[in-house]
Structure 1
């Protein structure tokens, strides 16, 4: 895993721009603490910061082949052993054991068609000096990020916006659409928040030549008739999971699993343990389990289920316990905003995950996680609630955001000008227009295909970004087995009646792993990542906002409703613990850190 950055300009001599290239690459140092490299030619510059996972000694990047053809690469290709054998049979010779070199030789053999052959998570850039052409490629599910910034005569690119913003040609400007994106709980493909910047869509590649840019989709979810019966479907899913986890255990550095006591992480941990000893880690808050109060999202604490699973499969388990004082440290908020490059409203759910990853990194370099199982198998409550399924909007907005708006503290005039409802409605219609239907599909099956597609392409990207940014900010690689495109293609096309065959959420997954995990976990209802319930955390949020108001100089104050701010500050402790109030407080504080530290100019 690594961080990549680069610059192509067909009218500028980039051999004189090494300092800028180094500055862009250096912003990725957290993603790649083990090695760095910068390759230059008159019209191209490729940088890399490496986190060494496969072939620690031999995988230095950027890596070159005859031509020269140069690659800077972030990610893991899980079928690189088979590809290497195929390429060797065609006469290719390899100097290293790294998957990077396999991708590079794959390009030499198949050109941009190499993307069709990769199984993994990756963001890569290849400069072909022979044709004076840049190729950018992103994995099918968008597990690894890749941004670009078109120039008149070329392009800037990077794993994260901060790499691009380190070049003086890119300014940290955010327009109304960027602000709208921040305030909606979803992801518009290609939207990068910063004006002029784009995110390469999952399953797409971009070619940059002197004549211009061309974008091509090399993978998308397609409609396929599902002919397997229930028993065959369950066996196929189990077989895929066995193969996927086996492939993703390959590592030359210490590897672990992230365990929450839910079905998804328990499945991954149990499958990994079948292959040998596995370390597992879980997050907890001091006093959380003892003082837990059920809410509208979480019915029970994770700790008892984590303990049961770890004992059941025999993993080498560690709980990472966090306290409120750490969560309220302003330096932690700054670190999280820096990791994201943008403000967020999930607050302690982000900062605690960052702290968890930081603690895990002391023991392991790679972790397996359960993202995508809920989106793929129908795990969220709103998959099963008619009022959410039938709503004329994204189902999660119909439920989670129905009474919870992160923009509650914003100036109402600004909020009305942004017209978030219209923005969300347009985004929803755009997403629906992409859904791949089966011929003759109608009624509830048709609608549930839409719901599943919306989750995989608009909701899941938010979670994948969260996991990638917060883990790579501390140099931890997180792999997501449920995002393997073979599993996604297969399960996406199973009928909803089969996904829900026993009336429970994630029916197919439960059936596929019934022998792997305890009965209590098979029965457990979905419980999201935990949030602290300590009122001292709420008090810390309000105290920080009060301090910003007292200074009178905080840039975020120009965006806030003064009366709403006074009201939330004056409310008794314990009265702002609703998700709505927490969302709005967290967003306001994140916005202020972002505006100050990034020098954001708002173009509204």
Structure 2
């Protein structure tokens, strides 16, 4: 797991621009605290920061191979979970290896198969290869978009990096944010390829971008396809169990301490149970970690998203599997600390406005990093198996828009935080409608299925190609900001493909959400978790949190000429800070969090707005 960056220029001698490459590489020191490396050639420069996970002494990067026709150099971020099998296959084809790292296997895979190496990989990865034999850069991203990857075409080449901040460290990249960037920021539709920064794009999941003297060329090597599902219920459950067991076993491979993120929900508990069983076979006790808030269990009140607190279920799982468990308990002061907010913003590069759900995640990962370097997470199970409440809400799933927006109206603009003139210019409703039509056009259908099955395939596709990408980016940025590698077993493409093509009637065969996962993993779960209703990532209910937001927002109001008011409505903020924090709505609290994110983001990034 690492941070990568680079620069290709067909008209500049980049061997004379080391200081710029060093600056780009240095922005990602948090992603790779263990090592740093650079590689320069006349028209290509590669930078790497390393978090050592496998083959600690042998996996240094950039890594290169000299061929008779020229050098091939690579920077790589991520993990190839099938690298052992690929290494044996490549050795059978005559390749020899100097290290035990998966990086070298991927590099030799490219030498053997070219860009088609992507078809052979199982894992999470973003890597770039400069192939001097053809003077081209090849950028490849994993199928689900687990590892972030951005690029910025220039007049004579391209800049790239794991995160926008690496690209923005190059003088050729301009810190411009236009209306389209803002529309997506406030809409939660996750437009494919979107970056907040004008001129910058993501390498889309399952995509290869090749850059040569003729420009950039994009090819999709993987996408969700509609296939007929012929397995019966028993066989389907057995196949999910088989896949889950294999995936967790593969993702536990590391030469550093490992743990599991445990929330007490079905998803993380299933990972915990399977991982604990595996480690017991190896004579090792599993470590588990959870986030909680001071007084949350004692004072918990059910709301529209959460029926129960997490703590009792976490205790049941930890007791059953015998894990060494640790709760990371946070109070409003920690959650609203401006220094923590700024750290999160710097990690994410965008003012996402998720408040305590971002700061608590960052603080959880920071605490975990003191004990472990690799953590397994239950992220993406809801998108794969159909767990969110709006999957099962007729109004939301048939609303003619993204179901998560229909279920919680008003979140897209921060609860009316935006100035009215800005809202009119952005026309978020029109943007969302356009994105929804575009997203639906990408869905393949099978003939002869019912209208309900057709619709639920669309709903599942929307989540797997839109919503999940935003959540994966959030988790990667927050974890890598403290040098923690988070692995996501539910994003294994074999599982995603199989479950995606399972009919909705099978996904809900017991009348509940995530029926397949529930039955496939109940042998490693306590009954309380088997019976538990879906509950999302926790959020503090302490009114002290809202009160702290109000106090900080008052300071923003008192700051003359604060650029945040180029977007935010002073009238809205003035009203929000006067409300009783004990009765404040979640939308108002969300708007205050978004205001504070924007305030600090303007200060950190100094963007030029073009609205």
- Whether TM-score is above 0.5 comes out as yes
For residue 364 of structure 2, give the secondary structure of its aligned residue in structure 1. Answer: helix
The CA distance in 2 between the partners of 1:405 and 1:217, in whole Å, is 32
Listed as ranges, the gaps of 5+ residues in structure 1 are: none
The CA deviation string for residues 30-66 of structure 1, in whole angstroms up to 9 with x for no partner, is 0000000000000000000000000000100000111
Residue 589 of structure 2 corresponds to residue 587 of structure 1: no
For structure 1, which segment, 22-31 or 64-73, has the greater mean C-alpha deviation from structure 2 after superposition?
64-73
8 Å contact kept, 2:127–2:140: yes
Aligned with 2:47: secondary structure? strand
1:373 matches 2:406: no
- Conserved? CA contact 1:140–1:485, under 8 Å: yes
CA RMSD of aligned residues (A): 1.0
1:242-257 to structure 2, matched below 5 A, reads: 242-257=245-260
User: Which residue of the partner structure matches residue 61 of structure 2?
Assistant: 61
Q: Report the Cα distance in structure 1 between the residues aligned to 2:528 and 2:239, rounded to whole angstroms.
A: 24
Q: Give the structure 2 partner of residue 198 of structure 1.
A: 201
The equivalent of 2:220 in structure 1 is 217
| Structure 1 match to 2:187 | 184
Report the CA distance shift for 1:133/1:361 in structure 2 as closer, same or farther (over 3 A). same
Is 1:123 matched with 2:123?
no
Find the partner of 2:272 among 245, 255, 269. 269
SS where residue 124 of structure 1 aligns?
strand
1:507 & 1:587 partners in 2: Cα distance? 36
Q: C-alpha separation between the residues in 1 aligned to 2:205 and 2:412?
A: 29
Contact 1:257–1:268 under 8 Å retained in 2: yes
Number of residues paired by the alignment?
603
1:409 offset after TM fit, Å?
1.6
Is 1:229 matched with 2:232? yes
TM-score (norm 1): 0.99
Per-residue CA distance 1:119-154 (angstroms, 9 max, x = gap) = 000000001111111000000000000000011211
**C-alpha separation between the residues in 2 aligned to 1:331 and 1:402?**
28
**Pairing 1:602–2:609 present:** yes
Q: In 1, are the aligned partners of 2:332 and 2:548 still within 8 Å (CA)?
A: no
Q: CA deviation at 1:575?
A: 2.9
5+ residue gaps in structure 2? 280-284
The equivalent of 1:490 in structure 2 is 498
Indicate whether 1:507 and 2:515 are aligned. Answer: yes
Q: 1:102 to 1:404 in 2, by over 3 A?
A: closer
Deviates more, 1:530-539 or 1:32-41: 530-539
Task: For residue 402 of structure 1, report the CA deviation from its aligned partner.
Answer: 5.1
Given candidates 148, 160, 170, the residue that maps to 2:151 is 148
Deviation at 1:439, TM superposition (A): 2.3
Contact kept in structure 2, 1:407 and 1:415, CA below 8 Å: no
> Deviation of residue 579 (structure 1)?
1.8
The residue aligned with 1:33 is 33
Alpha-carbon distance change, 402 to 329 in structure 1, aligned in 2, over 3 angstroms: closer
Cα shift at 1:592: 1.0
Residue number among 554, 564, 567 corresponding to 1:546 in the alignment:
554
Alpha-carbon distance, 1:326 to partner:
1.1
1:516 to partner: Cα distance: 1.2
1:326-358, Cα deviation, whole Å (9 max, x unpaired): 112110110010010000121011000000000
Name 1:392's counterpart in structure 2.
400
Question: What SS does structure 2 have at the residue aligned with 1:136?
Answer: strand
Instruction: After TM superposition, give the deviation of residue 558 of structure 1 in Å.
Output: 2.7
Task: Work out whether residues 549 and 557 of structure 1, in 8 Å CA contact, stay in contact via their aligned partners in 2.
Answer: no
Greater displacement, 525-534 / 558-567 = 558-567
Provide the rounded CA distance (Å) in 2 between the counterparts of 1:483 and 1:178: 27
Q: Which secondary structure state, in structure 1, belongs to the residue aligned with residue 460 of structure 2?
A: helix
1:407, distance to aligned residue in structure 2 (A): 4.9
Deviations 1:90-141 (Å, cap 9, x if unpaired)?
A: 1100000000000000000000010000000000000111111100000000
- List structure 1 segments (4+ residues) > 4 angstroms apart after TM superposition: 402-405
Q: Which moved more, 1:263-272 or 1:558-567?
A: 558-567
Tell me, yes or no, if the aligned pair for 2:380 and 2:468 is still in contact at 8 Å.
yes
CA contact (8 A) 1:404 1:580 kept: no
**Contact kept? 1:405, 1:580, Cα under 8 Å:** no
Question: Equivalent residue for 1:20?
Answer: 20
SS of the equivalent of 2:522 reads: coil
Whether the aligned pair in 2 keeps the contact of 1:183 and 1:407 (CA below 8 Å) is: no
Q: TM-score, normalised by structure 2?
A: 0.98
Q: Distance in 1 between matches of 2:547 and 2:311?
A: 25
